[in-house]
Structure 1
């Protein structure tokens, strides 16, 4: 099934070893951006560190590390330059999702492999890999199970014992073994014990900080109706249904985020009348006990940071403050305030990305929307900050293109927010422009390091990323404004952004192209068809060409009914707003880029679009990447994609 990989070890890069033992160098300031254009690879570089954490004792860190352009599972000592790092190289078919410490002897990692499941179609199979740091041996857990997802980590012991809870399926078919069972696994002995048997319809289990399975979220086969099972803090107490919801009535069950010790209180996230908040709630009575945080109307809580013991919410991230954490814990808020003051005027943000057990040692990322930044170590007791490594070996900490948020009015008066990236080496006047709509469509763009936008800006283009109606990040009312408007007002919002940029004198409307990935790829193709004289060219990356085909791809899978409802709510007529049916209206040259390993949007969308464009005598090019997935997680695929975009833009929109 999933291969264990090949263990390779080697010395740390000399510069990083020295940096880990020296004081942090000055941060990049608002100096002139690097001269361009730079090659595609400079922006395609995978970040040095991702999805990892510092050890409990604060002496080492583990995560997805990039060494020599290859992403590995890496474990590194922070202070001892002579200590040999451990690197685990995975096969080409396998990918890392996250890395966590269990204790000083064991590190675990979530991994996935793209495999055929009983037919020609492929899907990701997920497992957890455990690495014994004493021997370097890597082992795949629950490898004998036959389910697709065998890697849902619920809990890690905090007392130093090598124990974890994992929920795993044992069948790829919708039978009694399809729904996950929860196992307690001893990583030292390999022994596993069932602590929660599978329940029909329950697809997700939730555990508290003591390793007790407290809740389960279930659904009917079509995904339209859901329920919440709950038990008290005693593992022997019965699970009972305490909440039900129907997606067609815009309902959702209450989901516990953290469990307050000593009773039935839990922290929950509730949205009411466009206001999202965190509340302590009595799970039995559904009564709110106290308000922990309430966001302003139309602002969403993007991420919630929970304490290691899963009892307390430490902080949150808001859609209005991308990349920042608003700490609710007073000590953390005070520390963040000090970090913010220390980087004032330096055009960077200081973000705490991991803390050790007693919160005295931390990993920080100092970055901005204009620089990929660097990874730092900080010690609370000594106040010492040390740089571990830059995130991008080529760009390092040099500021690139400036980024800001703008707002404009759509043609019906609705205010639209957009992220605007401008070349830093020339005046922002009459620039060629790339409209760069996001994927989803249930997503949103925010100011932050965006390697694709930065690459296009480095080529001399203004890059505009409009959060059209139907985007997340602005509350349920704005989200619902997208219903019935796919290919209509949602597309007009993008067009109106281009008009605004031209009216402001920023862009030359006659030199505009549109580029997008996933739903953004759909918006690219549909933009060329809906307004055939508006753009000089387009680049669709993993784009949806046929809305009906996309919905049909849900098939008979779990939740297919809900997903189908979600898409049908966006447009009453799939065929009428599908690019595949509108090729005759397209005038501008279209480039298609798609990975053959994409399991989110089937590559047949781009295959069919390329074929139909050629048959109609249209100008089209197709870059088909044999190893690329939907998210272009391989550096080589990123580079190929960017190079293709750059060549197309320079040819048709110089």
Structure 2
């Protein structure tokens, strides 16, 4: 009778069990169908990167005729399109990343490619070294586009001495035509031009000391300005010149948060005026320039309603009109023609991925053109909601919660996802990774733990020599808060992270087994000693030593790889074999140590994989592996 009753229950509940259908993994894990949509200067074409079946294509569409043309194709393994821009109305410049190096010296080299939009030629390098030139690692650092000379750009290149870039004027119609504009210094790594296309500012490094070299508008007198010791005192960051060549916009500390100032560089004391400050958050974005006036009109700010703060009323009014036309959305003007008549709008919300629109201000129309995640269009997703919790020592921590989607059963289980960096932060808005797990019924919390950027200098530098310390405690506190707030069983929380977040996930498996039931790490750091020692091969060695410390006993104690015997919760490790940021050694060694002592560990190594899951097959495999892992243990 018990068997018959059980069978009847199964029949009764069968319609309920089949009432929902999980969205496919590739709805979230496929590369965005479209991204980086931009207008040509004359507004007659728009360009875009299209991702399809794991391949990426740079395309262009003629707005008047509708004719489409694919210009460049990559499988994202030989090279990756990182960004591109219009050099003029007929030519596009493309920054391409290529993996390089062998064994422990893996790195990325960059090249600047050019392609004409008529489709009659293939993409080729902008620059060809001459006999006697060095072959620098970075060949994509454009200093300025020269609109009055549409076939010319200013570019910094280290051709005569490694890591000492000079500034050259390059003719992009020829691979070899160039002229020296400014000779570099041995300690200067980046250069900046003013709006009149003159080299005016250099960013210099002396071990862990930072300073700038500033030149007057006549190009005659250089002086050292804004000197500071990295991590020990707040930095000053020049963002760009205004149309007035004596106005330089900077980011500097103001009442505990980084704000925007304009500096009169003609004055001896570099007099500054506060332009914009947010009492709660740092301003972390770049300047916004008018394509029409060539002057500063605002700044990107992730905590603003539309990610921007405008200094000019005309643009504020235009933004308000867009918000009225598309309410309850994040509406971002991502590109404008030089006359600012035509524009590309990217619109999204906290619960929906974005779509691109083409607008015409004179004709007063706006047309849909491209979708980012078409399989998620009009799906019932969950908004990412800002929350706050208290750390055990009384620090207020912000984060973002994504609840299980309404159309799937709630698993009454949770995931804490610490971000990478760690000196970066999470923002609101659609995120494919957290949305995927919410679509599987999990409650997801992404905390901006101590050491994250955006909350002032002191909060950010709390990460220095603190890996495995209070930053780690903040993650356990996040889990405890979530258990209480959302009534989740205490033994139903896992931690999933990548890069620094992967380190935190592994360290949680060492130190926080009473909080987390399982741990998954993608591209995580397992050995801090290895991080410091391998940095000897690169120019940032002094910075790495200062960030992590050089005491081998301390580094050993904060490295998960040394504590395999202590780990008693399931651990999943995933790593790309060609990761140039965190070497695959970290996961291989961690796996070997855990297997040697018979611990419960799975390891997946992604073929040709890099640090950013830019190969679609690897992204899908990662989501599938983590989902299966969580299903087993939650």
C-alpha contact 1:528 1:534 (8 A) present in aligned 2: no
CA deviation profile, 1:137-192 (whole Å, cap 9, x unmatched):
32202243511011101111223622111112237xxxx34311212112234422
Partner of 1:623 in structure 2?
604
Q: In 2, distance between residues paired with 1:310 and 1:507?
A: 55
Q: In 2, distance between residues paired with 1:448 and 1:256?
A: 25
Residues 322, 428 of structure 1: alpha-carbon distance in 2 compared, 3 angstrom cutoff: farther
Q: 2:315 aligns with which of 327, 332, 339?
A: 332
Q: 2:588 aligns with which of 594, 607, 613?
A: 607
C-alpha contact 2:291 2:336 (8 A) present in aligned 1: no
**Cα displacement (A) at 1:287:** 3.1
Q: In 2, distance between residues paired with 1:35 and 1:139?
A: 50
Q: In 2, distance between residues paired with 1:629 and 1:548?
A: 22
| Matched position secondary structure for 2:173 | coil
Q: 2:189 aligns with which of 197, 203, 214?
A: 203
**Cα displacement (A) at 1:60:** 1.3
**Cα displacement (A) at 1:270:** 1.3
Instruction: Determine if the alignment matches structure 1 residue 290 to structure 2 residue 273.
Output: yes
| Matched position secondary structure for 1:452 | helix
Instruction: Determine if the alignment matches structure 1 residue 275 to structure 2 residue 257.
Output: yes
**Cα displacement (A) at 1:590:** 0.6
Partner of 1:154 in structure 2?
143
Q: In 2, distance between residues paired with 1:125 and 1:595?
A: 18
**Cα displacement (A) at 1:266:** 1.4
Partner of 1:258 in structure 2?
241
Partner of 1:230 in structure 2?
214
CA deviation profile, 1:322-351 (whole Å, cap 9, x unmatched):
762122222111111112222324xx3211
Residues 467, 110 of structure 1: alpha-carbon distance in 2 compared, 3 angstrom cutoff: same
Partner of 1:645 in structure 2?
626
Partner of 1:318 in structure 2?
301
Partner of 2:15 in structure 1?
none
Partner of 2:474 in structure 1?
493
Partner of 1:17 in structure 2?
none
Please provide the CA RMSD for this pair. 2.5
Partner of 2:154 in structure 1?
165
Instruction: Determine if the alignment matches structure 1 residue 514 to structure 2 residue 499.
Output: no
Q: 2:40 aligns with which of 38, 46, 55?
A: 55
**Cα displacement (A) at 1:381:** 1.6
Partner of 1:425 in structure 2?
406
Higher relative contact order (CA closer than 8 Å, sequence separation 6+)? 1
Residues 160, 78 of structure 1: alpha-carbon distance in 2 compared, 3 angstrom cutoff: farther
Q: In 1, distance between residues paired with 2:552 and 2:252?
A: 28
Q: In 2, distance between residues paired with 1:455 and 1:323?
A: 24
1:438-453 map, 5 Å: 438-453=419-434
Partner of 2:12 in structure 1?
none
Q: In 2, distance between residues paired with 1:213 and 1:36?
A: 58
C-alpha contact 1:430 1:507 (8 A) present in aligned 2: no
Instruction: Determine if the alignment matches structure 1 residue 413 to structure 2 residue 394.
Output: yes
TM-score (ref. length: structure 2): 0.90
C-alpha contact 1:430 1:505 (8 A) present in aligned 2: no
TM-score (ref. length: structure 1): 0.88
Q: In 1, distance between residues paired with 2:293 and 2:225?
A: 21
**Cα displacement (A) at 1:276:** 2.2
Instruction: Determine if the alignment matches structure 1 residue 216 to structure 2 residue 202.
Output: yes
Q: In 2, distance between residues paired with 1:149 and 1:595?
A: 23
C-alpha contact 2:100 2:108 (8 A) present in aligned 1: yes
Residues 506, 401 of structure 1: alpha-carbon distance in 2 compared, 3 angstrom cutoff: farther
Partner of 2:93 in structure 1?
108
Q: In 2, distance between residues paired with 1:360 and 1:109?
A: 25
| Matched position secondary structure for 1:629 | coil
**Cα displacement (A) at 1:96:** 0.8
Residues 418, 289 of structure 1: alpha-carbon distance in 2 compared, 3 angstrom cutoff: closer
**Cα displacement (A) at 1:397:** 4.4
Instruction: Determine if the alignment matches structure 1 residue 541 to structure 2 residue 522.
Output: yes
CA deviation profile, 1:477-497 (whole Å, cap 9, x unmatched):
322444554323211211111
| Matched position secondary structure for 2:287 | strand
**Cα displacement (A) at 1:531:** 1.7
Partner of 1:121 in structure 2?
105
Q: In 2, distance between residues paired with 1:141 and 1:321?
A: 37
Segments of structure 1 that go 5 or more residues without pairing to the other structure are 1-33
**Cα displacement (A) at 1:595:** 0.4
Partner of 2:564 in structure 1?
583
Segments of structure 2 that go 5 or more residues without pairing to the other structure are 1-18
Q: In 1, distance between residues paired with 2:552 and 2:305?
A: 30
**Cα displacement (A) at 1:68:** 4.6
